[in-house]
Amino acid sequence: MKVETTGLPGVLLITPDVYEDQRGYFMESFQVARYRKSGIDLEFVQDNISFSVKGTLRGLHFQNPHGQAKLVQVLEGEVFDVAVDIRQGSPSFGKWFGTVLSSKNHRQLFIPAGFAHGFCVLSETAVFFYKCSEFYRPECDAGIVWNDPEIGIDWPLKTPILSQKDAGLPRLGEIDDQRLPEYTGKQE
């Protein structure tokens, strides 16, 4: 397993070992001891799967309080996946990291609690899988509009398919400070 740091503290790009032959492939998508050694030392309590069509953009979502760390990957298709640091007081507040995740490259992205997350679908369809460190709590659910100019994400599409909820999300600068997570100086 190869683990790479990104421009955002705590956000990790992971390439699992994949064993391929004429039958197909095998890979371990998660193994607690190995991930712990890589700095991902937390308990995942919920797994989610979403299916989306080309041009769909989901995000930018976060949960606070009860922030969710996420380990995300694509089971079928290809997406452009994004993490945004939204921790008040963080040296990288408002900065983003994006990468292509696909069923061909098998890469995963680890996103610590305190970051907003979103993705857009580049292939005809995509099956997106993610592990969460905290249960989904509707009362803590929040988000940031995908095209916030102050964040300036360079999305590979200009007119995405959005849910009504995602289309109506505020800009980061419009969110009450009490709604945003605090920077503690450590990975959470």
d(CA 50, CA 74): 10
Tell me whether residue 25 is one of the annotated catalytic residues: no
**Nearest-5° angle of CA 10, CA 140, CA 170?**
80
The single-letter DSSP state of residue 65 is S
- Are 48 and 119 within 8 A, CB to CB? no
Kindly list the strands in the beta sheet with 96-102, ordered across the sheet, starting from the edge strand earlier in the chain.
Answer: 96-102, 78-85, 115-121, 57-63, 141-143
d(CA 111, CA 120): 16
Which residue among the candidates 35, 106, 117, 130 is catalytic per the annotation? 130
Which residue among the candidates 35, 61, 66, 106 is catalytic per the annotation? 61
What three-state secondary structure class fits 18?
A: strand
- Are 87 and 114 within 8 A, CB to CB? yes
Tell me whether residue 61 is one of the annotated catalytic residues: yes
Residues classed as catalytic: 61, 130
